[in-house]
Amino acid sequence: MAVEVLSTADGREKTALSRRHAAAWLAARDRGEPLPLGEAAPPPRPARPALPELLSPRDMPRRGPGTLAGRLALIHAVAHIELNAVDLHWDVIARFTDTRMPLGFYDDWVRAADDESRHFNLMCDCLEAMGSHYGALPAHAGMWRAAEDTAGDLLARLAVVPMVLEARGLDVTPGMIAIFEKTGETQVTEALSVIYAEEVSHVAYGSKWFNFLCGRADSDPKDTFHALVRRYFPSPLKPPFNEEKRADAGLPPDFYWPLSDQTPRSTGS
């Protein structure tokens, strides 16, 4: 199922398939008849549509949110992140089956993949309602980099993807919601509010299974997290941090503050 989603290029088709497979997995779990865990060889990179054109971040046009074009670029960027997130969650399901994990691990990432599929569709709906569509603008080329870098290490994958990248989403989403509140584009504020509320659980799944694996190996989660993030995500984490939502997701301040180049005092938060 995971490989089938990863191998589907079109965004709407990928998310429709993702939602069908998630529903089938979760329904089987509810019946008490879990689907068998298979083994699979996920592709090194997921299939992607011919458009959007993928550009390196320094070649991406920069536009402020004060113009419609700038706001469309922002929604387009979120759609791209969500599509990438669909693939990331199915990839963690398929790639690490040699590490024995409880079924709840798969439930969590199946649920997260289903959430991201809805998030992508919500962002596409906003783009289309505003006269654009996913693929109309260029997108960030480096999105799969974190997945490739951590393809051989489940702990590193959990540290970098949900606990660093998705946690960063919790930091920046309130500011994006404020942009669209100001312009009265309510379809976008409503969609981003759904995303904001649901992303907490993805970070929480990450910290839950990271702590589980550290506990199983009798290693210190905080020290392990610092070592893995310094190795696989060398740029410093950027405050301000959403300390409240990070706490909801089981990420304590002593996990992320030491990886930033500032101290809590220097930012006044």
123 within 8 A of 82, measured Cβ to Cβ: yes
Q: Shortest gap between Cβ of 163 and Fe ion (angstroms)?
A: 12
Nearer to Fe ion, 28 or 247 (CB): 247
Count residues binding Fe ion (CB under 5 A): 7
92 vs 237, which CB is nearer to Fe ion?
92
Q: C-beta of 32: minimal distance to Fe ion in Å?
A: 28
Quick one: 91 or 116, whose CB is closer to Fe ion?
A: 116
Only segment of 45-53, 148-156, 194-202, 246-254 that touches Fe ion (CB under 5 A): 194-202
Identify the helix (H) or strand (E) that includes residue 18.
Answer: helix 11-30
User: In this complex, which beta carbon is closest to Fe ion, that of residue 84 or of residue 224?
Assistant: 84
Phi, psi of 237 (to 5 degrees): -70, 145
**What distance in Å separates the CA atoms of residue 87 and residue 24, rounded to the nearest whole number?**
18
Sole window of 57-65, 97-105, 144-152, 159-167 interacting with Fe ion (rule: CB under 5 A): 159-167
Q: Which stretch binds Fe ion (CB under 5 A): 16-24, 45-53, 84-92, 180-188?
A: 84-92
Write the DSSP string, 205-260.
HHHHHHHHHHHHHT--HHHHHHHHHHHH--SPB-SPP-HHHHHHTT--HHHHGGGB
CA neighbor of 55 nearest in space, from 160, 161, 177, 142: 142
Q: Is the Cα torsion angle 196, 200, 206, 210 positive or negative in sign?
A: positive
Establish if 202 lies at the interface with Fe ion (CB under 5 A).
yes
Q: Tell me the closest approach of the beta carbon of residue 154 to Fe ion, in angstroms.
A: 18
Binding mask 28-67 for Fe ion (x = CB under 5 A): ----------------------------------------
Least distance from C-beta 115 to Fe ion, angstroms?
A: 6
89 close to 111: Cβ distance less than 8 angstroms: no
Q: Which is nearer to Fe ion, 16 or 69 (CB)?
A: 16
Neighbours of 27 (CB within 10 A): 11
The whole-angstrom separation of Cα 67 and Cα 123 is: 18
What is the spatial distance between Cα 110 and Cα 24, in angstroms, rounded to a whole number?
Answer: 10
Q: How far is the CB of 37 from Fe ion (least distance, A)?
A: 23
Instruction: Select from 43-51, 77-85, 146-154, 224-232 the region that touches Fe ion (CB under 5 A).
Output: 77-85
Can you read off the two tokens belonging to residue 139? Answer: 């997108």
Rg from Cα positions in the chain: 18
Q: Nearest approach, Cβ of 262 to Fe ion (angstroms)?
A: 25
Is residue 116 a contact residue for Fe ion (CB under 5 A)? yes
- Asked if 119 touches Fe ion (CB under 5 A), the answer is yes
Which of 126-134, 160-168, 175-183, 205-213 is the region at the interface with Fe ion (rule: CB under 5 A)?
A: 160-168
* Footprint on this chain of Fe ion (rule: CB under 5 A): 82, 85, 116, 119, 166, 199, 202
